[in-house]
A and B are shown apart, each in its own frame.
Chain A
Amino acid sequence: MTKFIERHPAWALIGIIAIAVLLWLVFAIWPPGLEAAIGRKRVFLNAVFNGITLGGLYFLVASGFTLIFGLMRNVNLAHGSLYLFGGYIGYAVSTWTGSWILSFIAAFIGVALLGVVLQLAVFRRMEGQDLRQTMVTIGLSIVFADLMLWVFGGDFYQVQTPAWLIGPIQLPLLTAVKSSGEPVYLQYPLVRLVIFVASVVIGIAMWLALNRTRIGMIVRAGVDDRDILAATGVRIQLVFVLVFALGAGLAGIAGVVGGTFQSLSPGEDTRFLLASLVVVIVGGMGSIPGAALGAVIIGLAEQLGSVYIPTYAIVVTFLIMVLVLAVRPQGLLARR
């Protein structure tokens, strides 16, 4: 951090000012002039929170995607199908047992198993052939999409939110002061906060596992040079299977999350594949912190865009992607 400030004092200053402005926007009570110019503070705060929580969902999908790519150099274009499949499993389990928590576990295990099968039956047979793998995953995603359409139909499903998570809670953030002097606090849907906290916990756990454990060390070594790693006697195929299972399982969990605060239907697979591609391109292929940063940027862009420039909201995401590709094509937090 200090190195960065020493090397780029101008950028650091701009960054600090931007953070200060953002903090002021979040915590201060807006003067009437500002409200007249860009609307009420409640709307802004909600958009920011929604962007961050949506980023949490994107992170769950994209982290598995980026992990698999980082280790196996395998662009898994069937990742969106894994997301949707996890969502459907979650829906089936939550309606059958009535338990929301159980649906996460079932989705994780179910999709992770599918990931294991995919790795063993498909990817292992064409190791190192990037183009072939990519084509095969496109084909698989189409097959999966039709299979799921066959079983679940075109209907849209929603994973039922448990009763204790329905409704808003009051956050200690002032949005306005009434003329009577009574403060108005921000009301925010509880379920989104819980999901966001959960994705942060998962993110930190993954970071710890990658940086503080032996298996994490092996995975990192594999990302850097898997041939040398294999030469040292590590059973690299086993590591591949484990990572693929974890990445797929995360997509499955994301599916349940997406099914809870959005909905599941045919077409969601490609939407989330696209979202995770954009997130990973912005953040840097193969980097977990990059996926987190990319997810929050894209989430914020979508939500702030939908409030302040609704007509062009869809374009903003892609503008960011183009900008990143032009200025830093390897992604914001890529190591190389």
Chain B
Amino acid sequence: MLKGSVGLIALSSLLLSGAAFAQEKIKVGVTATLEGTYTVLGEDGIRGFQTALNVLGKKIGDKELEFVIASTDATPDSAVRAVRKLIEQDKVQILLSPLSGDEGIAVKNFAKTHPELAFVNAASGAQETTYVDPAPNFFRYNMDGAQWQVGLGKYAYETKGYRKIATVGEDYSFIYTQVFGLVLEFCGAGGQVTNRQWVPLGTKDFASVIAALPDDVDAIYLGLGGADAVNFLNQYQQAGGKAHLMGGSIMIDQTILSSKGSAKNALVGTLAASGQADTWDDPNWQKFVKAYQDSFPEAKRFPSPSLLATNYYDSTMALILALRQVNGDLSNNQAKLKDALAKIEIDAPNGKIKLDANRQAIGTNFVTEVVDDGKGALFSKVVKVIPNVNQTLGYDPAVFAKIGLPSRTVPECKKY
């Protein structure tokens, strides 16, 4: 169904571009994971994007925005293929891409081969994308995986009294970055991370992974997303698992909390951290939730926007506002637009966002706990809000550089 509609959008935009329109268009290419393990995440990302268009409109002065959507499957090569197709075939002038961590690193590197175009990251959250050798034309308005874990380690150690935890995560850059943020803070507070298990993205049978979970720990941290997370929970329930759980930013998210079946109930009470909290009472957030709910019929959306919807919303918002600042001027290799993108501060639904020297977001983070609303729907309830989280997580940049880049074994569990 989605592929069909994506095809239709692509087709209609092609037809439109061929038609004799007097009005000048600005063509923007969008990618989302509309295939594979992260399909549900991609679909909600696109919903966030459409919500932004509904709220802000498509007019830039006397020009109008036009979009071409391409599908990826969370692998870096699929993202580069999609972006290349958008640039070479559809002749887009601006990119809003990509969704997933490994895709982000690949698209950032690809962006260097097209220095004249502006790339606005849609939702990807690997640290490396903007931290190592950033591309001058790549802008990221969402925080990275490590920033999204700020507050979690300390809260788990101090408030919950967890001392020893183990982690299970998908084996790729975004989850490395999430575990990086968690381990750094939890071990810094004095906790121990005894075991880190990595499973390939798209794992279906978790039974042996579940059996190998240690039982002498206070909690188990899950860094999974999409179909993987649902499969894990389903099999965890079948195996009768009862440990305390902690969750990453795409694990404790509406994409999982609204999944069908009863397996998700294992998550009630789970501690997590993310760039948003479903039940935050900030008026700006509430307004966004309302706009999201009003944009789609109830059966075609989640009860509340997922992190991906929020990220796509924020990125689209930043792009539209920056384009309006320069009145749609894309001359001189988009120099004015790039300048505006780098300087813009947006009043996003999930807190104020501005960019650092690497064009990486500094924003607000939320520690949350999963609650049942009494009618069987699960939401993340905010327990702590941490403003102004930067990419070095408050560490001195020199100290931060010594920790190393997120990987299966980095960082070590110690105080830096």
Contacts and interface: CB of A to CB of B under 8 A. Distances in A.
Interface of A: 39, 42-43, 46-47, 50-51, 53-54, 146, 149-158, 160-161, 166-168, 187-192, 261-263, 265-268, 271, 302-304, 306-307, 310-311, 313-314
Given A168-B238, A189-B238, A306-B199, A50 B1 contact: no
B260 interface: yes
A266 B39 contact: yes
Interface stretch (B81-89, B146-154, B202-210): B202-210
Interface in B29-44: 34-37, 39-40, 42-43
Given A189-B240, A310-B197, A154 B231 contact: no
Nearest to B34: A154
Contacts of A167: 237-238, 240
Interface string B224-253: 001100110011011110000000000000
A302 B207 contact: no
A266 B238 contact: no
7 contacts: A42-B211, A54-B205, A152-B1, A156-B259, A158-B263, A167-B237, A306-B208
Contacts of B234: 158, 261-263
B114 interface: no
Interface string B369-407: 000000000000000000000000000000000000000
A149 B238 contact: no
B305 to A, nearest CB: 17
Contact of B208 (A146, A303, A314): A303
B212 interface: yes
Contact of A310 (B40, B198, B240, B261): B198
Contact of A46 (B4, B200, B208): B208
A166 to B, nearest CB: 6
Contact of B231 (A42, A51, A262): A262
Given A39-B212, A158-B261, 5 more contacts: A50-B208, A154-B2, A154-B42, A263-B204, A271-B204
Contact of A261 (B37, B200, B238, B261): B238
Nearest to B231: A263
Nearest to B203: A306
B3 interface: yes
Nearest to B263: A158
A192 B35 CA distance: 28
Interface in B162-205: 171, 197-200, 203-205
Interface in B255-273: 259-263
B41 to A, nearest CB: 10
> Closest 7 interchain pairs by CB?
A46-B211, A154-B39, A168-B240, A189-B238, A50-B207, A262-B204, A47-B208
A192 B211 contact: no
Grouping DSSP codes into helix (H, G, I), strand (E, B) and loop, the A interface class, with mixed when no group exceeds half, is helix
Contacts of B199: 306, 310
A256 to B, nearest CB: 14
A287 B2 CA distance: 40
A50 B2 contact: no
Contacts of A43: 208, 211-212
Interface of B: 1-4, 34-37, 39-40, 42-43, 171, 197-200, 203-205, 207-212, 226-227, 230-231, 234-235, 237-240, 259-263
B409 to A, nearest CB: 12
A233 B259 CA distance: 55
A51 B171 CA distance: 22
Nearest to B234: A158
B202 to A, nearest CB: 8
Given A160-B261, A189-B235, A47 B211 contact: yes
A153 B259 CA distance: 14
Contacts of A149: 1-3
Contacts of A54: 205, 207
A304 B234 CA distance: 21
A215 B285 CA distance: 68
A288 to B, nearest CB: 24
A38 to B, nearest CB: 12
A143 to B, nearest CB: 13
Nearest to A146: B3
Given A43-B211, A267-B36, A302 B2 contact: no
B224 to A, nearest CB: 13
A50 to B, nearest CB: 4
B30 to A, nearest CB: 16
A191 B239 CA distance: 9
Contacts of A42: 211
Contacts of B198: 310-311
Contacts of B35: 154, 266-267
B317 to A, nearest CB: 25
A152 to B, nearest CB: 8
B222 to A, nearest CB: 16
Contacts of B209: 306-307
Give the interface centre of A39, A54, A156 by most chain B CB atoms within 10 Å. A156
B44 to A, nearest CB: 11
A313 B35 CA distance: 23
Contacts of A154: 2, 34-35, 39-40, 42-43
Given A149-B2, A307-B212, A189 B204 contact: no
A90 B197 CA distance: 33
Given A156-B40, A187-B239, A50 B211 contact: yes
B260 A157 contact: yes
Give the interface centre of A42, A154, A155, A190 by most chain B CB atoms within 10 Å. A154
B239 A168 contact: yes
A220 B37 CA distance: 41
Contacts of B1: 149-153
B217 to A, nearest CB: 14
Give the interface centre of B197, B207, B234, B235 by most chain A CB atoms within 10 Å. B207
A47 B235 CA distance: 14
B112 to A, nearest CB: 30
A156 B230 contact: yes
A147 to B, nearest CB: 10
A48 to B, nearest CB: 9
